[in-house]
Amino acid sequence: MGGNLIYYAIVFLIVAIVAAALGFGGVAGTAMSGAHLLLVVAVVFIVVGLLASVLRRGV
């Protein structure tokens, strides 16, 4: 699941860069916020998954 979120975060980042280059500041800001949110959620999922796998092994 984390991989898909990172993919979409990169897509939003590219959209933000293109929108900023074309002068659409509002769209660029919104796309950047979406990219940031998706990246944070992906990192949280990855950390939770790593912790779950470590705890499942019974450290």
More confident residue, 7 or 1: 7
pLDDT at 7 over 70: yes
User: Which residue do the tokens 């959209």 mark?
Assistant: 15
H or E element that contains 16: helix 2-22
Give backbone dihedrals phi and psi of 8, rounded to 5 degrees, phi first.
-70, -30
The per-residue pLDDT for 59 is: 63
The pLDDT-based confidence of 6 (bands split at 50, 70, 90) is confident
pLDDT at 10: 92
Say which residue, 16 or 59, is predicted with more confidence.
16
Q: Which of 12, 4, 3 is nearest to 37 (CA)?
A: 12
